[in-house]
Structure 1
Amino acid sequence: MSERDDFIRRFGGIFEHSPWVAERAYDRAASSGLTAGNVHSALCNAFRAASPAERLRVLRAHPNLAGKLAVAGELTAASKAEQASAGLDRLSPEEHSRFTGLNTTYTKKFGFPFIIAVKGLTKEDILAAFERRIDNSKEEEFETACAEVERIARLRLRSMLPGDDNA
């Protein structure tokens, strides 16, 4: 396996189901050194350089928070751990109904699922952000969701490449 293939295998899931981000980031990341900060910077630059349609596909690759995939146990390992850390795997029926309703309204309005880096947040924090962001314009929310994807990538990289707090 080449170094490039190894990089793509290792970091291809950082941006949810979007290994093309790692493919495009390889040259820059390899020349900078494989620290969490350097890899994050290279991945984010590749993501930002992508077309709006490509970035939208990344957003759409993310699961709904506490949605059908979570209930069916079909989240990626990273998404499952992230959602569990915020208690989204332990919602009451009322809370689950609230998330489902917000997910439906949000996705209908914006065309992609609500995305937030949940690490360190409670389900109450997430619901408050959900309700606050649902009033954003499509353009504002697209940019917010893209920034959240980059935060999620930073957190995922920090767990893979510990000891580098510059990510």
Structure 2
Amino acid sequence: MSGRDAFIARFGGVFEHSPWIAGAAWDAGLPPDANTAEGLHAALVTQFRAAGREKRLGVLLAHPDLAGRLAVRGELTADSTAEQASAGLDKCTPQEYARFQELNDTYKARFGFPFILAVRGLTRAAILDNFEARVGNDAETEFATATAQVERIALLRLKEMLP
């Protein structure tokens, strides 16, 4: 396996189902501080932000619903499973689960992509409050908020992988 292939194998999932970001960062030349979470994050984010809106939308679309049907069926990535479990989303009451489904459906119908929030360290109640507040945003504000959350999730994942 080449250095590029090994890099993509290791870091290609930092942005959910979007290994092209790691490949683009490798191809652009990694900075000297790419052995740290913050340094590598900066290199990956540069590529994510440089991509056109459609490619960034593709990254948003690669994210699962929070407490959604994929989680119930056990079909999330290992990272997403751990992140959702850390916030207790795997222990929703039937009422909470129903509210998440309603909000997921409303949000996706309004914005065309799933609600994305870096949930690590948040409670289910805080996540629901955030969800309910953001579903009222305008489309441009929410696209910017969702992409910022994707970047935050990537940083949190890198901090688990690197010093």
| Correspondence list, 1:131-150, <5 A | 131-150=132-151
Distance 2:86 2:2 in 1: 35
The answer to whether the Cα contact below 8 Å between 1:29 and 1:39 also exists between their aligned partners in 2 is no
The runs of 5 or more residues in structure 2 that have no matched partner are none
Between stretches 18-27 and 41-50, larger displacement belongs to 18-27
Equivalent residues in 2 for 1:56-71, closer than 5 Å: 56-71=57-72
| Count of residues paired in the alignment | 162
- Structure 2 Cα separation of the partners of residues 39 and 2 of structure 1: 19
Q: Cα RMSD between the aligned structures? A: 1.0
Q: Distance in 1 between matches of 2:29 and 2:98?
A: 42
Where does the alignment leave 5 or more consecutive residues of structure 1 unmatched? 163-167
1:4–1:137: structure 2 CA closer, same or farther, 3 Å change rule? Answer: same
With over 3 angstroms needed to count, the CA separation of the structure-2 counterparts of 1:29 and 1:93, relative to structure 1, is farther
Q: Is contact 2:31–2:43 with CA below 8 Å preserved after alignment?
A: no
Partner Cα distance (1:48, 1:151) in 2:
13
Q: Is the 8 A contact 2:71 2:81 kept in 1?
A: yes
Aligned to 2:128, the other structure's residue is in SS state helix
- The two structures have a TM-score, normalised by structure 1, of 0.94
Alignment of 1:7-22 (within 5 A): 7-22=7-22
1:46 partner amino acid: Q
| Structure 1 consecutive aligned stretches of length 4 or more whose deviation exceeds 6 Å | none
Residue 37 of structure 1 and its aligned partner are, at CA, apart by: 1.2
- Report the Cα distance in structure 2 between the residues aligned to 1:31 and 1:149, rounded to whole angstroms: 21
Q: Distance in 2 between matches of 1:82 and 1:29?
A: 30
Q: Give TM-score, length-normalised by structure 2.
A: 0.97
Output one character per residue of 1:131-161: Cα deviation in whole Å (capped at 9) or x when no partner. Answer: 1101111010000000000000000000001
Give me the whole-angstrom Cα distance separating, in 2, the residues matched to 1:79 and 1:14. 10
Matched with 1:120 is: 121
1:47 aligns with 2:28: no
How far off its partner does 1:4 sit?
A: 1.1
Separation (CA, whole Å) in 1 of partners of 2:29 and 2:130: 33
1:29 Cα deviation from its structure 2 partner? 5.7
